[in-house]
Homo-oligomer: A and B are copies of this chain.
Amino acid sequence: MQVNFTPGPSQLFHTVADHAKRAFRENIPSISHRSKTFEGIFQKTTEGLKELLSIPNNYSIFFISSATEIWEKSIQNLTESTSVHFVNGAFSKRYFEIAGQLNRKPHLIEVEVGKGFSINQIDSYQTELIALTQNETSTGVSLSADFIKAVRAKNPDALIAVDAVSSLPYPQLPYAEVDSVFFSVQKGFGLPAGLGVWMVNERCIEKAESLLKKGMSIGSYHNIPTLVANAKKNQTTETPNVLGIYLFSCIVEDFLRIGINRIRQETDYKAAVLYQSLASMSQAAPFVKEQVDRSKTVIVAECGDHAAAINKYLANYGLMPGAGYGERKNKQLRFANFPAHSKEQYELLADLLTKFN
């Protein structure tokens, strides 16, 4: 039995294979995306997600093929020319770069990898959109709700987009003080990859409509007005990943049954156990130095020349960490701490690391 700690695609939640079996038995992969059955699945998923994460009713929820696509569509629909990007790793950087590829003029606020941003750094920006990567998967740095609120306090007019790809359902995000939130299902929801979830409030819808009115292209089948029109019917524009949406509906139901508080408490507990273990090691240490910046859902260990040895040692016990990202591939190990990873697995992991020599 192996446990996959790679931060996405990661370990599947333990119920997924059974849900998939039932899906095939009930012919879900073969249903029309214009059928009542599909509309029921769509509605159950979006309503369940709103309940699970306490998402206000002024949000619309769209199913998109990946968070990467949402980077593109959010720039296209929410900016005419300007965006400000808080960048502290490869994924926040990629969001910034995509704005450039769409011929916008994005502005970069960058700190070293492994570092977070302080509230004192926040300015008032002349910009249409502020892009925040709430959890930077490449470095294991996360932004607090207080930081996000402080961005809004100084920038009441700009739209705020929050990339929560590798953290939800864990964080309690201040939805009322941001405008767009998105994530992928193959991380915290423990599902097969192939589905991104994009949530936008009415300010995003108005912005997209105003760009359209100016004669700008905001894309075609996945522009916000088209997504809204279809979502109102509990439908998608294109033939979507129906099986993926069905499996997502099942996991949202499972998570509601477990309870979001318990999921959050267990995430906190598992993170504490692993950070403590890393802090006790002589051959490794938490990469992110400041406690306040440390992600609870993607935990990065700086291992120097010991990374390969630690990796091999854990693999002997069936525990498979993710490699470091990019140029830190051979020096770091990354551990996803998602609901699919049990307390017992985390206790074993932490125990083994403490004993590593």
User: Which residues of A pack against B, CB within 8 Å?
Assistant: 2, 4, 6, 8-12, 16-17, 20-21, 24, 27, 29-33, 65-69, 71-72, 97-98, 101-103, 184, 186, 191-195, 215-217, 219-223, 237-244, 322
Contacts and interface: CB of A to CB of B under 8 A. Distances in A.
**Most chain B CB inside 10 Å of its own CB: which residue of A21, A27, A32, A65:** A65
Contact of A241 (B10, B67, B241): B241
Q: Is the interface of A mostly helix, strand, loop or mixed?
A: loop
A194 B30 CA distance: 12
Nearest to A64: B65
A71 B239 contact: no
The oligomer's copy count stands at 2
A289 to B, nearest CB: 28
A264 to B, nearest CB: 23
Contact of A194 (B11, B72, B241): B241
Contacts of A8: 239
A135 to B, nearest CB: 15
Contacts of A240: 66, 193-194
Given A101-B217, A194-B241, A240-B194, A9 B29 contact: yes
A163 B239 CA distance: 15
Contacts of A29: 9, 12, 16, 191-193
